[in-house]
Amino acid sequence: MSLYLRAPEAARRLGVSKPTLYAYVSRGLIERRAGPDGRSSLYAAEDVERLRSRARRAPSRPLPTIDVQIASAVTRLDDETVRYRGHDVTELARTATFEQAAELLWTGSLPTAPVRWPTPAADDVTAARAAVALAPDAAPLARLLTVSAVVGARHPDDDAPTAARRLIGVVADLDRAHRGSIADRLARSWRPGAPAVLRAAVDRALVLLADHELATSTLAVRAAASVRAPAPACLAAGLATVAGRLHGSAAAGTHALLVEAATS
């Protein structure tokens, strides 16, 4: 009979934090099953010991790194805040919509009037829904990459802002929420009849997450753009990199931690 451990004991044996334990689970290194109460989680002791033994055997040597320095006018980080094109991001989150913040990042100018992007073509949304339906259990980033490939193949000549507006619009409409801003549509797709306070919270979160600084995914996009890849292909390069277990997919561990904290 297999032995399973609770999260504190599994993390203690590995000498890691709970978020790191959850990251191991998301990477398929440790099996997790529901606890007897249906809310907590248990972790396979055999997998924990295997990882522990591997860590003991591994030689201690520095990990390879990529040291890159790029001058950019897009975002500035200092000891106090983050600025998009010279605008304090916390102030932007209070006063600007996601669409306005995106246009600022792309063009360098902050629109003073409300911005409404074109409604995505019905054929694009239909094609994206059909592609997503082929793998209904895929991870969110995998679904996003699939949609990006479909939309990009249909519009290979889009410039970067047009490709981004089109992809974001299609993603926001996958659950048939056609009206309102991007934040409105996403909030309604997650919770039908979403109240204004939730829609505003989503909008602020999108503004705060709009720039990726010099992350690995940003480097991937820049590398693709440097060889004049089409804008949709550059987006796909970035999304494929975000899906990495040590990049965007690492959030799965944080999500698992929040779910366990909320239900235990």
**Do the domain assignments include residue 91?**
no
Looking at residue 139, its pLDDT comes to: 81
User: Of 175 and 153, which is predicted with more confidence?
Assistant: 153
pTM, full prediction: 0.71
Residues 240 and 150 in one domain: yes
Tell me how crowded residue 244 is: count the other CB atoms within 10 A of its CB: 14
| pLDDT tens track for 117-163 | 998 899 999 999 999 898 888 888 888 889 999 999 999 999 999 99
Of 47, 11, 20, nearest to 32 by C-alpha is: 47
- Report yes or no on 71 lying in a domain: no
Residue at token pair 């600007």: 96
Q: Distance between CA atoms of 5 and 51, rounded to whole angstroms? A: 14
The total number of structural domains in the chain stands at 2
From 63, 93, 108, the end of a domain falls on: 63
Residue 165 to residue 31: CA distance in whole angstroms: 39
Percent of the residues in the chain that have a pLDDT greater than 70, as a whole number: 94
Provide the sign of the torsion angle of the four alpha carbons 181, 184, 189, 190, taken in this order: positive
* Enclosing domain of residue 149: 122-248
What is the chain's mean pLDDT, rounded?
A: 87
CATH of the domain at 33: 1.10.1660.10
CATH (domain of 128)? 1.10.580.10
Query: For residue range 32-69, what is the model confidence (pLDDT) as tens digits?
Result: 888 887 778 899 999 999 988 887 776 656 555 565 66
Nearest-angstrom CA–CA distance, 249 and 242? 7
**Max CA pair span of the chain:** 65
Whether 75 maps to a domain, the answer reads no
Q: What is the pLDDT of residue 59?
A: 60
